[in-house]
Amino acid sequence: MSPSIAHARAGQTLGLEMEMAVARLDTGESHPVDGYFERLAGLKAARGEAPALSRIGEAAVGVSVAAGESGLDNGFNLLETAFAPVAHAQGGLAELARRVTRELEDAAQALDAEGAAVLNVSEHPACTLDPGWYAAVQVPRPIYRELVGHREWLHRAGIDAKAQNSPCTSVDIREAARALNVVLGLAPASIALFANSPLECGRITGFKENRMTLWDRMFRHSRYAGDHFLQRLPERPFADLGDHFRWMFGPETASRCLPLTVEDGYKSAAGVYLQGGPSLTRFLASGGWPGRRTDTGEAITLTPQGGHFEYSQFAHFLDARWRYRLDSHPDLDALRDAWRRPGGIEALYEGLGVVGYIEGRAPGAGFADAQLLQDAGRPVAATTVMAPSALQLGLMRNLAQAEDLLRSWGWLRLRAMRADAMRHALDDDAVHALVRDVLAVAEGGLDGDERHWLDYARYVADTRCTGADRLLRLWRGLDGNSDQLAAVCRARAVVPL
């Protein structure tokens, strides 16, 4: 293949969105941070990183430096760091791991002043979901007025610090749909390997990864049935990106609020609610659509633009997303034409300077802690955070074999196995067999000096003992103890490695 048409190797850049549940060490209760970002900015400033503090109103909600943004997910009790992309030439997985360790060290130091710590869980074990708590700890982002007030999502179903570890792996536009299919179809393996949330509201749930029940619960009674539709894996893989977007913006769906100005940010734009809840496809095919402004309530006719298509890329809540940025917005007529042709979106976007990556959403948050260090040893524990990134990178680098694996297991069978992975993790023999197959393919896609980042995943597969199993062992061992929650949380406090 000539260099001009050769596909760029997956993983030329690697990113990570790392979510972290916070708890008080004296009681174990979920803890909304207070003064955390000011202290974090001080730590980063002392290293010469020139931090910029961001606020919503009077509340500090994030710190940005060149290495990424330390912020919040949906509540002040759930931290989220979005690391800037790390190039393969900069060190890839190893350099990203170094940055993760530094961030966890900073977080531990900044939280210490509040008597709090990050927990090795993907959901706080005993936090309420009631409306009063939600109102008290929710981050006051404008977008939540749409999601809760207009679309009627049960957003508070995730206010108990449900946390994921989201690897972000760059991929060539011409392989984006294939890579997305692989990560989506093989997601039961990631759900099982990184299961870490068997408890909710202080009770054993019967799920090893209860976190993954969130999307069904959040969208079940949405004002628009399409919102619930968009968290369920479709019945077949996507043929190309055009097919993917026809599913995402199809007649079963209702367009999200759209920005008055397409350059505005996803979570902060003043926007327009389209009258009657049309799909994005219908809106883009129109000459203009009546609606009302979110900020003033004024009636307005919104004219479709090519940029509305790019803006709407976050509409679904599957176990992986293809996320992207264009150097310039597409012409609307060119977009309409490209969308009708097989491979048309890929060709159009390639000419518009696309940069895209797969965001994995199946792995639960997982970190090293004292319990894991004792059980598995330091070398294995030190790979915990990076194991999902290594797994996804290996699959995407070994894409043909990953697709063979997908076909051999069968798309619909894998779709059904997702529920088994959530409930039973590696106690289910079929899920365990899938995990073994996925690890073998992923290892084959990694370079020799990268394979050790799968050590935590291999340890879990070998022992059939997930983070959820270790947490249940702790919880049951302290049953009846008045200090149960605090003792469990102290044992599961993150140890930066």
Verify that 300 and 347 share a domain, yes or no.
no
DSSP string covering 382-421, please?
Answer: TTTTTHHHHHHHHHHHTHHHHHHHHHHH-HHHHHHHHHHH
pLDDT tens, residue order, the chain (497 aa): 333 345 789 999 999 999 999 999 999 999 999 999 999 999 999 999 999 999 999 999 999 999 999 999 999 999 999 999 999 999 999 999 999 999 999 999 999 999 999 999 999 999 999 999 999 999 999 899 999 999 999 999 999 999 999 999 999 999 999 999 999 999 999 999 999 999 999 999 999 999 999 999 999 999 999 999 999 999 999 999 999 999 999 999 999 999 987 776 555 567 999 999 999 999 999 999 999 999 899 999 999 999 999 999 999 999 999 999 999 999 999 999 999 999 999 999 999 999 999 999 999 999 999 999 999 999 999 999 999 999 999 999 999 999 999 999 999 999 999 999 999 999 999 999 999 999 999 999 999 999 999 999 999 999 999 999 999 999 999 999 999 999 999 999 999 99
In angstroms, the Cα distances linking 446 to 159, 165, 170, 205, 461 are 36, 20, 15, 36, 18
Determine, yes or no, domain membership for 15: no
207 and 231, same domain (yes or no): yes
In a domain, 79, yes or no: no
In a domain, 103, yes or no: no
pTM assigned to the model:
0.96
Q: Which residues contact 363 (CB under 8 A, 6 or more apart)?
A: 164, 165, 166, 167, 190, 191, 193, 194, 388, 391
Please tell me whether residues 288 and 212 are part of one structural domain.
no
Same domain, residue pair 211 and 258:
no
Which of left, alpha, beta for 377 (phi over 0: left; psi -120 to 50: alpha)?
left
In a domain, 43, yes or no: no
303 and 290 part of one domain: yes
**323 and 305 within one domain:** no
CATH classification of the domain holding 239:
3.30.590.20
Residues 223 and 281 in one domain: no
Domain assignment present for 30: no
CB-based contact 188:417 (threshold 8 Å): yes
Residue at 386 is within a domain: yes
**In a shared domain, residues 308 and 323:** no
The tally of domains found in the chain comes to 2
151: in domain? yes
Domain presence at residue 54: no
What SS3 class is residue 69? strand
Domain that holds residue 277: 254-314
Q: Do both 426 and 352 map to the same domain?
A: yes
User: Token digits for 143?
Assistant: 């977008």
What is the token pair recorded at 246? 């026809």
* Structure tokens that stand for 324 in this block: 């992207």
Strands 320-325 and 355-360: antiparallel
CA distance 363 to 390: 12
Residue 407 shares a structural domain with residue 487: yes
263 with 221, same domain: the answer is no
Whether residue 354 is found in the same domain as residue 472:
yes
